Amino acid sequence: MLTTFHIRKFDYVLVLASLALTSFGILAIHSARPELVGRQLMGLGIGLIAMIVISALDYKTILRYYYVWYAIALVFLLWVLLFGLQVNGARRWIVFGPITFQPSEASKLLLILFYSKFIIKMKEKVNSLVLLLISMALALPPLLMILKEPDLSTTLMVTLIIACLLFSGGLDYKLIGGILAVMLPAAGGLLFAVVNLSAVFPDYQRNRILAWLNPEAYATSYAYQTMQSIRAIGSGQLFGKWSNPNPSSSLLDSGFLSESQTDFIFSVIGEEYGFIGTCLVLVLLTAIAVRCFMIGGQARKMSGRLIACGVGSWIGFQGMLNIGVAVGMVPNTGIPLPFVSYGLTSLVCLFAAIGFVLNVRMQTGKQA
């Protein structure tokens, strides 16, 4: 069960980049909601313990129980729908005494573990439509339960992670091309339906997309957060306002920037630390994702490659999506910025995922 822990194979670049990004997030949370810093530090401590423990285990042994991880994801997602805490019409959290747990965040890692082994089991059919259809059938239960919470952004994120795993597993390029040939026109048709057919989507989802297409028309409602976010990022200029003692010059201090500790934490960084700060966040996010992909490319076992690539796609694409919302490039989705946004479940799961990537890295030199 335990691996041979090689200190020389411990990937310090990946660990230091993750810690640096988390530290930057804690500074931003302190600017937005100082009272939450203690809980985020607690999440960091738990996450580091999880990372170290997981990095010392044999990921191949853990993957033997891949259907168990899939079942746990389903149980937690069903539990939150039946008994979860409801906030603002959404049921996304399970409360265990003082601990609030978000199953949809944990399901990202659990499904990466499941599909990393499932694709290996189906390797004879990896270039066939059969694998794609079975993978979609297995993905539907967790995706529908996450969508039911409702949490459309996490549903899309989990779908993207699974797609990246299938691609990394060797899905035929012709099959991928055929899927894209169907999906791109379908996406255009979906956008047309959102704009013109009010009965297709719930009002809040439709209005978010309409606000993205025409923000001026929704400047005081659905586009308000995004427009304030863009103003905050622009107001930071090159070095930010962190040293400015005048609170009236800050959108954050003036209360115009809501959800600043979670969905719009990038806006806080833009205002407080300017262009330099936002670039540093982008560099660190890119470094973590690329390093995961590099470790996946060096892995001797296909399962190790899939784990590392799945984690890299999770961190990279979710980071792009969150930043895209903050600068108005994509509709408001309500998804956290990895390692930066406030949230214990997200932070602990991300460090646990880094632990699996470190595990893969330390076993790279072993024979399959």
Write out pLDDT tens, residues 236-251.
888 888 766 565 556 6
324 sits in which H/E element: helix 302-326
Rounded to 5°, the CA angle 110-115-118 comes to 130
Q: β-pairing, 85-87 with 90-96?
A: antiparallel
2-35 pLDDT per residue, tens: 655 666 778 999 999 999 999 999 999 998 899 9
Distances (CA, A) of 249 to 33, 219, 274: 18, 21, 14
What is the side-by-side strand order in the sheet with 90-96?
Answer: 85-87, 90-96, 99-101
C-alpha–C-alpha distance, residues 155 and 88, integer Å: 19
Distances (CA, A) of 116 to 60, 125, 135, 160, 229: 10, 15, 12, 15, 37
pLDDT at 91 over 80: yes
247-288 pLDDT per residue, tens: 555 667 666 677 688 889 999 999 999 999 999 999 999 999
Fill in the DSSP letter of residue 2. B
> Of 288, 295, 341, which is closest to residue 317 (Cα–Cα)?
288
pLDDT tier at 98 (50, 70, 90 boundaries)? confident
Contact 347, 333 (CB under 8 A): no
Distances (CA, A) of 49 to 24, 43, 44: 20, 10, 9
> Of 154, 146, 157, 63, which is closest to residue 110 (Cα–Cα)?
63
- Predicted TM-score (pTM) of the model is 0.91
C-alpha–C-alpha distance, residues 210 and 280, integer Å: 32
